[in-house]
Amino acid sequence: MQLINNDLLDVDTTTDATTMNTGIAQDELERIEGYKGIYRATHAFPEPKKLSFAAEFGIEAFATIIAAIGAITLASISTGSVFLVRTIDFLAHYNIPENVQQVLGWIAMIAALGSVEGYLSARGIWNGKNRGTSSVSRIGMVAAFLISCLAGIANSLQLVNTVPEPLQATLNWALVAASGIGATILTYYGSENFGTIFYSWKSKLDETHRHFQEEIDAWNIKFQNDYRAKGRSRIFGLESFREDRPMPEARKATSKVQESVKRYLTERGLSAWDIGPGSQGHTVTPRAICAELGLTSPQDQSNVRTALTRLRNEERHPA
């Protein structure tokens, strides 16, 4: 009979203890999920705030977007038409077939739009997104006012029966210069404000998501506290978690044995992984430790096995 007890004492209980701990953890997780449904029925779970682009930014944002698109379109028409016409005229000078002239002219126009207006627009949007705040450009304001005023004057001159030729020519040249230069300026600054708007929109979305996540975290903390304080005892009839709960005598005894075993291993330069049954080639067995520590009762011997299992879980397995 003594031999049987010694063999049982030398059995490695790591696998059994791990399986038992996994089962306990799984049961606890199932209880937590079950109580979460009860708690959620009486404590509303946070809902994400719904944002509306129109409500957040209003008509100002739409006006800015329309202005940017209009400036890009105006500058694109001017740039593209010039490259289209000049390319066709250039090819016609060398008697290039007409169909080739048209194809190459359109290619030149598209390439010009992408390289010139596309670059200005992309750079403006990039700067607006990085800066994050709208800027009021005096040059852009002057260009917009000048183009609008000159266009209005040129159109209103139709009401005058006789317009001096020098005045008409001056107004025409002024309108050409203002629209040519001003459209390019407005393209850049309009794109910049366009990028600023979407930066602000993204910032609002990120802030709303962060606030929603904080509400979820706060809800989970309250739920966990409620489960620990009431759920385990009232719903599942288990002992609630209390940090001031006195340690049971059996647990005190196990902790005391674990300290003795840990001290024993430290003094001899061993780890818990060095201890095991002799049948597996271990030179130090749990039975030998019990003998040296004077632990003879069955409960003490069981505590030694438990202590070794806990120490193995705390230590890293040797490679």
Q: Do 87 and 19 fall into the same domain?
A: no
The last residue of a domain, from among 198, 214, 230: 214
Q: Give the dihedral sign, CA 172/176/179/181.
A: negative
In a domain, 224, yes or no: no
Place of tokens 């130090």: 284
Model pLDDT, residue 235: 63
Q: Which two tokens stand for residue 253?
A: 């005894």
Contact (Cβ atoms closer than 8 angstroms) between residue 303 and residue 13:
no
In a domain, 166, yes or no: yes
Q: Do 71 and 190 fall into the same domain?
A: yes
In a domain, 121, yes or no: yes
In a domain, 230, yes or no: no
Q: Do 146 and 98 fall into the same domain?
A: yes
Q: Do 64 and 92 fall into the same domain?
A: yes
Q: Do 206 and 57 fall into the same domain?
A: yes
In a domain, 48, yes or no: no
Q: Do 61 and 188 fall into the same domain?
A: yes
Q: Do 210 and 276 fall into the same domain?
A: no
Please, how many CA atoms are within 13 Å of residue 67, restricted to the half-sphere of its CB? 21
With cut-offs at 50, 70 and 90, classify the pLDDT of residue 8: very low
pLDDT in tens, 55-69: 888 787 888 788 888
**What does each C-alpha distance from 298 to 104, 253, 294, 311 come to in angstroms?**
98, 13, 12, 20
In a domain, 177, yes or no: yes
Q: What is the mean pLDDT of the chain?
A: 76
In a domain, 308, yes or no: yes
Q: b/e map of 171-199 (b: 16 or more CB within 10 Å)?
A: beebbeebbeebbbbbbbbbbbbbbbbeb
Total domains present in the chain: 2
Q: Do 267 and 207 fall into the same domain?
A: no
H helical segments located in the chain: 2-9, 14-42, 53-93, 98-112, 118-131, 138-156, 165-226, 249-267, 286-293, 298-314
Q: Do 132 and 168 fall into the same domain?
A: yes
In a domain, 287, yes or no: yes
Q: Do 72 and 205 fall into the same domain?
A: yes
Q: Do 130 and 75 fall into the same domain?
A: yes
pLDDT in tens, 115-150: 778 888 888 888 887 876 655 567 777 777 777 777
Q: Do 164 and 79 fall into the same domain?
A: yes
Domain holding 193, by residue range, is 53-214
Model pLDDT, residue 304: 80
With cut-offs at 50, 70 and 90, classify the pLDDT of residue 3: very low
